[in-house]
Every structure is written in structure tokens, then in C-alpha cells.
Amino acid sequence: MSMYLTFTIGKDKRNLVDDITDFHIDNSTSTNPQWLQARQNEDGMRQVFVTVKNEDGSPFNLTDCNYWFQGKLPDGIHKIIDARHGVTLDAQNGKFRFDMPKHAFTVAGSYVQAFFRIVRNGESITTLEFDLTVLSDLVYNDLVPSDYITPFEDLYGKLKDYITKANGDFDAAMAKWKKDVADLITELNADIGGINLTITEIKTQLASLEGKIKADGLLTQADLNVALAGVLKSVNEAVETVTGGLTYLSDDMMTDVNGGYTDLQKLKEFKNGIDTDAGLTRIAFATDTHHEAESNWRPHMTSGLRHALNPMYVQGVVNAVIFNGDNINNGGGGDKATANYLVQDFSTTVRSLVDSDTPVLINKGNHDNNYKDATVFDDARSLPSQVLTNAELAHYYGYDVKDDRIIRDGSSAYCYIDLPNNVRMYMLDSYDTPETLDKDGYLDFNARQNSIYSQKQLQWLANTLDASKTTVLFAHNPVEQVFGTGNASNEINHDVLHKLLNAFISGGSGTINGITGITVRYTFEKAGTIAGVFTGHLHKSSIVVDGTINYVQTTCQAVYADGDHREERANKFGTYQEDAFDVIEIDPVKKHVKLKRYGYGEDREYDY
């Protein structure tokens, strides 16, 4: 199902067409004729692997690039401008993948024109055209061709969701959608002078819909479809002349990734079972996904992206979603380019699934950064060039993206969000690893083996803990002083975190002196409240009450790696029980927490 194309920028060329009004490319005049063939109704699995070179044959650097597929269908009418389905494989070596959308294969015949556009910071170059032919499908012959233009398709699809989620408050839904439209147009107008689209044109379409609803008090599906079609027509007309220059997130937006939902009906039932009472604060919590490229010896490793779909499915009924580290499984000293690809693949897939205002956080684990594993390598030292740096992970996981809801210390992984019902949610970085070097040029600390809280992070936490709020904390690594993992020498400054949390629930002022010599000062005007400290890493589910604080473990999403039930869960592969994640429901009034489990495992609850 895969095709391979290679383009050389500055060297590939073809003759000009004789008549631009009757555009037809003669591939015999091209210095690099290439082709792609598919059948009508194919979707997602038709992957194109592209290599881009400079004129001298060296790899074209694709760092920070997005990829567009642009084409005119064989009917000569409809267009594909797809900025959604490109994935960087190896930026330094000029390699990316494009997963062709089903819209590209609706019309049998040869494309009028098909090429890739590579975009970086608003500037773009294009590859030479390639021959794209679509074979007819005489079994499914009722396909309807249409334009497919991102990001307008995404915006168009949001309106139905907004109306559905507004619980009857149509004005609120429309206000939200209009803001998204206005923001998009502002962005596009800044980049493209030829876009002839105004807010007034869209408002005219929406005003008709609003008037119908307010007059009749009822929105029928027919009314909605007609109104949306009008809006889409305005948008499509506005981008008639768009051929490039737009900057849009290139991501792996595939609801059928890794085979798609294993049991969508079970997932719907689970979502419907989440308590939506306004007095509850809800957090979807997934940990240890361990996404990895295809493996013949451990095939369950390839289900990571499929598991990312499930927590994102419930985003509309929770207040936050967190993926709690070990998002990839390459962190054993493997090839950095592979780790780079896996981290980006995971991150862009998650981000592309966002369709609500719910904040989504991605934490770091000991597998994410590609340090060497002492259980695999005789020499577990790592060079800076072999690992994903803190700055690189900050970029890939979005720590360097400004979001007024998320309070960070610079571009740190650690942060907090204030959620409804006066709940403050922390994401702590238990791999806040210094990047200092020893005399031989190796990194002093191995984040594969060492869980570290820096003094800076712990002092920041002491300064931001607020006793007037119900506090909930998430970290990848469990606190050594509570779970006794037996690796105390590798759990650096865990003792300070443990003492700080105990000081918070007691109140008062003081100084904490850590084993490593660090010092953290705190002042809490009154005793604080902690609803729970939630961690992963150990691949099991348990609750340990230490003093009055509940420390909660949730098992891994990875099927193969469940520490307690590995063989049993392996037998569940291909069913909804291959996955495991919790939705945490916090009741700050009753001081009660309920963890609802999707997939393998049981619900849990406790008072705090």
C-alpha cells in the first residue's frame, strides 16, 4: 500500500504546457517522471514516502516544515489542498510521509495536476508534478467528488460539534464558531493577499441560520445542512486562487490510525457513563502509552497511537486530558532519528485530535528522550547528540507554545492549570534532568535511569501551591518515599517533594533541606488539600495512603508491558481491553474521588 517518490529541488524540470487553458502535462518532457496509482474509495492506508534532495544530491533539510498535497482531480473541477496528513520521518535526511485522504480517490482517471508543497515559516517550495492515476471501482460506484481543502474542512466540521455541545444554547455555540472563523481569517489574511473572504460574508450565512432557529425554536437537520453548505460555499470560493503560503499544522490526523477504535460502541458507552455534574472536576488520565514503530518480535508495541485515540474521544466531557509520559518506547539508546519521528508522530496525532477547548497536556517519561538503557548497553553513557534535549521535547510536546490557561516556568514541562470547582491541576516533570557534561563529553545524568526534580522546579512548586484550592498532582515517576521502588539513589530530590507535600497539607512556614544538599523554602497560610498524586511508570494500578495523601498508580496503556497482568492483557489484544486509562472524577465538596476505568482493570474510589 506504500509508494516511494524522490524529488531533487533545483534540478527536476519539465517543459511548459502548450496551452494553460487546456492544462495537460507531457511526462515525457520531465527530467523526473514519477507516478502513484490507487483505486477509488481507498482511505488512509495509501501512504507515499517522499525523499527530497538538494541539487547537489545532499538531503534537503525539512526541519520545521509542513507538507501539503495539492491536486486537481481527473474531472478537472474539484481540488485537493490537504495540509493535514503529512508526517516528518527524518527531517535531516529530507524524508516525510503523506497519508492520502479518501477524497483524493473519488474520481477515476488521471489527475490534471498533482504535486507536494513544502512550507516553512510561511515560505514554500513545490516538488515537480507526479503522475497520479485512480483506477475505477465498479463495486462502489456511488462516490461523490468534492473539494477537500484544509483548514476550512476542519472549521466547517466544528460548527455541528459546537451546536451539539452547547446544550441548547445556540447563541453560545454560534459565538464560539464565529470567533474561530474570525481568528482563521485574520491568520490567512496575514499570509495570503489573494484571499477574497470577509467576516461579513460568513455572518450573512449564519444570520439566516440564527433567524430560522429563533423564529421556530427548532433546528432541523435539513436546515443545518443547507446553512452549512452555504457557509462552505463561501469559504471554498474564497480559496479558489489559493496555491500556497498558508502555514498549517502538518499532523497525522487519522481516526483509523493503527486500525482505529477497537470497540467504538464500548467507548461510547464509557463516555456516556462519565458523570457530567457541574460540581465535579473531571480529568482523563492516560500513562505509559509506549508508542513504537513496527516490531516483528513485539507487535503489540505498534498500538500506541490507537490508544491515544481513546482518551481524546472523551475530551468533550472532561476538564483536562493528560498523557503522563513514556509516550514512546524508543528510549533505550536507539536511533535518535527514530525517537524524533515517534515523538512527533505521537504529539501531532494527539494535537490533531483536539476538537474542543479542553486543555491537553503531554508529560515526559524516562522513555521519551532516548537515553541509553543500562539493562541493555554495557556502557549506558549518552552523548548529547544521541538524546532528545529538553528544548526539543519542549518543542515537540508544546511546552514552548503560549497558552494563557497553562502556567509554566518559562518553557518547562512542569506547569499548572486552574480547573472548574476551584481545583488546581499540576503536571510535574520527574525527569527535570540537567544537561551538564562530564570530562569525556558525556551527559552527567541519564534520564533513562534517574528520576530528578530540580531545585528550581521544587521551589516553583512551593511558591505556587495555593491552600485555598483543591490540589491534584500528576507526575510520571512515583514518589520513592511512598512506593519504595528500591532505586532511592536514582530518585533524586524525591525526598524534598515528599516533605513539601506533607508541609502543604499541614500549613505553616519552613525550610526543607534535601539529601543532595538543595534547599526549598515554603510558606502556607493554612493547611492545603490534596485530592491525589497520580503517577505511572510502574505499570500497575494501586493506591497507597501516606499520612493523609492518596498516591495513585494507574497501569500502562501498552498491552505488552503491564507489570501485573502482561500475559492476560496480551490475550486481549484487538479488543477494547487492550487499552487502559482512567477518567478521574473529583468532588471537592464531598472530598471524594472516583476513577472510572476504560479497558482493562476496575473502577476505584476513595475519600481524601
> Tens digits of per-residue pLDDT, 124-181?
888 988 889 888 877 655 556 666 666 555 655 566 566 666 565 655 666 666 566 6
Instruction: Give Cα separations from 430 to 39, 77, 333, 464 (angstroms).
Output: 49, 54, 20, 17
Q: Decide: residue 464, CB within 10 A, 0-12 exposed, 13-18 middle, 19+ buried.
A: middle
Question: What is the rounded distance in angstroms from the CA atom of residue 585 to the CA atom of residue 593?
Answer: 6
Give me the half-sphere count of Cα atoms (radius 13 Å) on the Cβ side of residue 475. 24
pTM of the model: 0.61
pLDDT digits (tens, 9 = 90+) for 507-517: 999 999 999 99
CA distance 442 to 253: 38
pLDDT tens-digit readout, 177-197: 656 665 655 554 443 333 333
Low-confidence ranges of the chain (pLDDT < 70): 1-2, 17-24, 27, 44-45, 122, 139-259, 293-302, 330-334, 485-488
Residue 360: its pLDDT value, please? 96
Q: What per-residue confidence (pLDDT) applies to 450? A: 87
pLDDT at 335: 73
Question: What's the angle, vertex CA 339, arms to CA 334 and CA 342, rounded to 5?
Answer: 135
Report d(CA 345, CA 258) in Å as an integer: 12
Residue 18 to residue 5: CA distance in whole angstroms: 26
Query: 132 near 48, Cβ under 8 Å?
Result: no
Q: According to the model, what pLDDT value does residue 291 have?
A: 87
